[in-house]
Amino acid sequence: MVGIVIVSHSKKLAEGVKELAEQMSQGKVKIFAAGGLNDEVGSIGTDPFVIKEAIEMADSEDGVLVLMDIGSAVMNAEMATELLSENLKEKVLLCEAPLVEGAIAAAAQAMSGFKLENVAMEARNGLLGKATLLGAAPPTGLNGHSEVETTGREIKIEVPNKLGLHARPSVRLVELVNRFDNEVSVAVNNGSFVSATSISQVGTLGAMQGDTLVFKVRGNQFSELERTLKEFSLNNFGDSKELKTPKAKTKKVEISTTSNLVKGGAILGIGVSKGIAIAPAKVLRNDNITVEKTEIVNTIEEIGKLKGAISKVLNEVEAIQHKTMVLFGQEDAEIFNFHLLLLNDKDKISEVENLIEKDYYSAAYSWYKVFTGLEQKYLKIDDIYLRERASDVVEIRNKVVDELLDSKQMELILDEPSILVVDEIGPAQTLSLDTSKVLGIVSQIGGETSHATILARSLGIPAITGLNGKIDAIKDNFLIAIDGSTGEIWSEKDYPEMIVQLQAKKEVEEKIKKERFSKAKLSANSSDGETFKVLANISSPKEAKIAYDNGADGIGLYRTEFLYMDQETPPTEDEQYAVYKEVCENMKGLPITIRTLDVGGDKPIPYLGIPHEDNPFLGLRGIRYCLQNQEIFKTQLRALCRISADYDIGIMYPMVGMVEEVLEANAILEEVREDLKRDGIPFSDDMKVGIMVEVPSVAFILPLLAEELDFISIGTNDLTQYLLAMDRENSGISKHYSALHPAVLLALRVILDEANRLGIEVSLCGELAMNPQATNLLSALGLRRYSMSGPAIPRMKDTIRNMNVGQIKYLCKKLDTWRTLDSVKSALNI
């Protein structure tokens, strides 16, 4: 695939153009920015060595296209080419195309696997779309619409999506057309035909919703194309739409297909999670879990078993969902809503119970039969998004069967670092993988929007799917290399040179990643010199490591609940001490804020004995639980105090709403310290104490709390929900649920002002902290400490470095003029 280099005098411009082009190519094309000088501030100018390096990184078998702005950019691009190795020099094409339009067109074309010359031509034609839209004559010499064939077999499809054939669907359309060996032209309604294989030309069509696209096809793969285009249309041209499943993910709805091509010796699938992995294949064929048709006698007992198994799996999925929420955020966690829906589906369950009662089938067999039927139904749905839900059905089917039979058919266990080769993998299975052992995933069945794929991307595991029968070619224990961005799988036995080549590519990718990391480790200062701290939210030592690698300036929120989950009894003081210590070690001395146990509400842990409550979110949660269960609280405080002897930690209490709670908690802390002193165990008197700000009352009582606290941390998710008295999981009312609601922003202003006035350190650790558009506003309001998931940190630091706090102060005043959520969103361009 052709690589692209963007050269500009301005570092910002080059990176901006890269970003635009990457949006087009969905990260499939290697695009590198070479802007500005290689000094600390990235001065305006061009540097041939910077360009040379970018070309080397963008290097690929198909060559590199270099686009540049003017003057020295041209000369230095030439200079850079002369500095390259002879071998690479021949593969580089300096292209005079307009920078922005050219980059976007080139990225789209490169993605479809075209050759360098062709990509360059598309870049040059990049102006066509704009010229057509503005009614100007196409620039002379550009490839206009004139010589397009208008004969051939016809396919008509209607434009289904609201926005019409805008940029993304155009790119996707061209990509689909180019998959097949046809000559294809396309027109809107009765308009003139353009080449359907060219993004610049398809981009000129400007078809609106309801328009008819008329394709003329000459070639042998007419029906394949027809089927693909129909599918594309059914899929709403890849745009999101009101899906029939609740809380459907809309972000990644893309067409997917299976591929059984073999390209130059590679086994070719669909690359769905990028990255390269090289390791022995571990083939675990799991398409057919088997359930014997057994008959039973005691139907009541059997139904009891069924209910028990369903409820166990429900608990398990809920725990997985919560873990996902913590690790990757709400959107990924919603993946499991569909699992939960299936487990709660009364119709299906009574169908299963009927089989047990009427036919005396075992619970396992009945469940298996009903859910296999359901899987078949999903597989027949036209809508690709829904069709990919079949794999979720299978995972739930198998999980309950495993539970009923006490079998381990779903478990994927690897002994050594390998590439997992399976027929199909579910999201829960993906999440349970040991990431130190699973270096890559190859699956026979799956798609770009399948839940396992989404999670593989979140976990950063390279993945290839859609192997459609070719999976048999991968033999157990053979060394293979997979490239998640191209979908290629190479076996060392047949193509040792490809393994070497991919190893080199992998090293380059790792180098780039490392460079990004090394920049992330520098402190984040705004362009006018304000110092910021970008901290991480974590829940395990492993995440602390990830946070450190991503350049976290410390931990802003360490959730300790996970220590208490999946256990029969609370963790002991020593167990806790060991885990906290590992977190501290992994952060190499950076400050760490540890939240004391936060249970209740949506975080049930059976042995803690939290009673059933009518209104758990206003019930025994957070610090309230700990104050009523002092033994559990004291054990944790003892472990924390011991840690404080050697490491820079602060502790914070969750769900505080009044002064009494802090006084009481601090009194218990004092008792623990007395005990330790008596036992001669060292601890630090300087350990900072703070609270989470989640209960709105805190906004009014900060001055009263100030004496007791060293810091506060705002949890925007709960604060928003309590302030607006709105359950965000309740889709009937959650339309106005947003941390950006004026009511929440005004409360944040009060909290930040008060905290800064009182000299209490303040940070923010909710999802709002990860929203780059909100960063300006929050910084203008005086926030300097942000806490978020580790992988989000490098981007946040970039955002901060590009920010001028002096210049955004005006946003504070603006805040008074925003009356509704919509006005905030439009002002912040969200």
Partner 1 sequence: METIKQAQVINWLEKTAHVIGENKDYLTKLDSDIGDADHGFNMERGFNKVLEKINELAASEDLQAVLKNTGMTLLSSIGGASGPLYGSFFLQAALPLEGKTELTVEDLANSFGKGVDGIKARGRASKGEKTMIDTLEPAIDALLLSVKNKDSIETALSNMLAAAEEGMKFTIDMIATKGRASYLGDRSIGHQDPGATSSFLILKTLKESIIQPNS
Query: How many CB atoms are closer than 10 A to CB 496?
Result: 12
Task: Please state the closest distance from residue 95 (CB atom) to partner 1, in A.
Answer: 17
How far apart (Å, rounded) are the C-alpha atoms in residues 256 and 228?
10
How far apart (Å, rounded) are the C-alpha atoms in residues 62 and 117?
10
Residue with tokens 């082009």, as numbered in its chain: 21
Phi then psi for residue 783, to 5 deg, are -80, 130
**Cβ-proximal residues to 764 (8 Å cutoff; 6+ apart), any chain:** 713, 714, 716, 748, 778, 783, 785, 786, 787
Task: Please state the closest distance from residue 46 (CB atom) to partner 1, in A.
Answer: 7
Q: Kindly tell me which of 36 and 554 has the beta carbon lying closer to partner 1.
A: 36
DSSP at 295: B
Q: CA 633 → CA 613, 622, 625, 670, 715, distances in Å?
A: 21, 11, 9, 13, 21
Residue with tokens 């049930």, as numbered in its chain: 604
Task: Please state the closest distance from residue 173 (CB atom) to partner 1, in A.
Answer: 39
Task: Please state the closest distance from residue 9 (CB atom) to partner 1, in A.
Answer: 8
User: How is residue 459 written in tokens?
Assistant: 């976990």
Run of H or E including 482: strand 479-483
DSSP at 433: S
Q: Kindly tell me which of 10 and 198 has the beta carbon lying closer to partner 1.
A: 10
Task: Please state the closest distance from residue 76 (CB atom) to partner 1, in A.
Answer: 5
Residue ranges of alpha helices (H) inside 446-601 are 451-459, 496-520, 541-549, 573-586
Q: Kindly tell me which of 76 and 198 has the beta carbon lying closer to partner 1.
A: 76
Task: Please state the closest distance from residue 77 (CB atom) to partner 1, in A.
Answer: 9
Q: Kindly tell me which of 56 and 402 has the beta carbon lying closer to partner 1.
A: 56
b/e for 497-517, b at 16 or more Cβ within 10 A?
ebbeebeebbeebeeeeeeee
Residue with tokens 């042998």, as numbered in its chain: 220
How far apart (Å, rounded) are the C-alpha atoms in residues 467 and 442?
8
Q: Kindly tell me which of 46 and 185 has the beta carbon lying closer to partner 1.
A: 46
User: How is residue 449 written in tokens?
Assistant: 């929007």
Q: CA 140 → CA 118, 124, 137, 149, 180, distances in Å?
A: 18, 11, 8, 21, 31
Q: Kindly tell me which of 37 and 811 has the beta carbon lying closer to partner 1.
A: 37
Q: Taking CA 585 as the corner, what is the angle to CA 580 and CA 588, rounded to the nearest 5 degrees?
A: 130
Q: CA 599 → CA 559, 616, 696, 745, distances in Å?
A: 11, 10, 19, 27
Nearest to 189 by CA among 166, 165, 168, 224: 165
Q: Kindly tell me which of 68 and 355 has the beta carbon lying closer to partner 1.
A: 68
Task: Please state the closest distance from residue 44 (CB atom) to partner 1, in A.
Answer: 7
Task: Please state the closest distance from residue 69 (CB atom) to partner 1, in A.
Answer: 12
Residue with tokens 């976290």, as numbered in its chain: 552
Task: Please state the closest distance from residue 47 (CB atom) to partner 1, in A.
Answer: 5
Q: CA 398 → CA 146, 324, 561, distances in Å?
A: 58, 21, 29
Task: Please state the closest distance from residue 83 (CB atom) to partner 1, in A.
Answer: 9
User: How is residue 328 written in tokens?
Assistant: 């990757």
DSSP letter string, 639-657:
HHHHHHTTS-EEEEESS--
Classify 666 in phi/psi space as left (phi over 0), alpha (psi -120 to 50) or beta.
Answer: alpha
Beta carbons of 803 and 776 less than 8 angstroms apart: yes
Residues in the chain: 830
Residues that bind partner 1 (CB under 8 A): 9, 37-38, 43-50, 71-72, 75-76, 78-79
Q: Which burial class, exposed, middle or buried, applies to 814 when counting CB atoms under 10 A from its CB (0-12, 13-18, 19+)?
A: middle
Task: Please state the closest distance from residue 189 (CB atom) to partner 1, in A.
Answer: 43
The set of catalytic residues is: 451, 765
Q: Kindly tell me which of 72 and 684 has the beta carbon lying closer to partner 1.
A: 72
Residue with tokens 């010499």, as numbered in its chain: 141
User: How is residue 629 written in tokens?
Assistant: 């269960």
How far apart (Å, rounded) are the C-alpha atoms in residues 544 and 532?
20
**Cβ-proximal residues to 830 (8 Å cutoff; 6+ apart), any chain:** 740, 771, 773, 774, 824
Nearest to 466 by CA among 664, 255, 755: 255
Q: Kindly tell me which of 44 and 379 has the beta carbon lying closer to partner 1.
A: 44
DSSP at 677: H
Nearest to 649 by CA among 566, 580, 722: 580
Q: Kindly tell me which of 9 and 249 has the beta carbon lying closer to partner 1.
A: 9
Q: Kindly tell me which of 82 and 686 has the beta carbon lying closer to partner 1.
A: 82
Q: Kindly tell me which of 79 and 746 has the beta carbon lying closer to partner 1.
A: 79
Pairing of strands 761-764, 711-714: parallel
Beta carbons of 479 and 280 less than 8 angstroms apart: yes
Q: CA 439 → CA 339, 458, 462, 498, 619, distances in Å?
A: 26, 14, 7, 18, 43
Q: Kindly tell me which of 69 and 483 has the beta carbon lying closer to partner 1.
A: 69
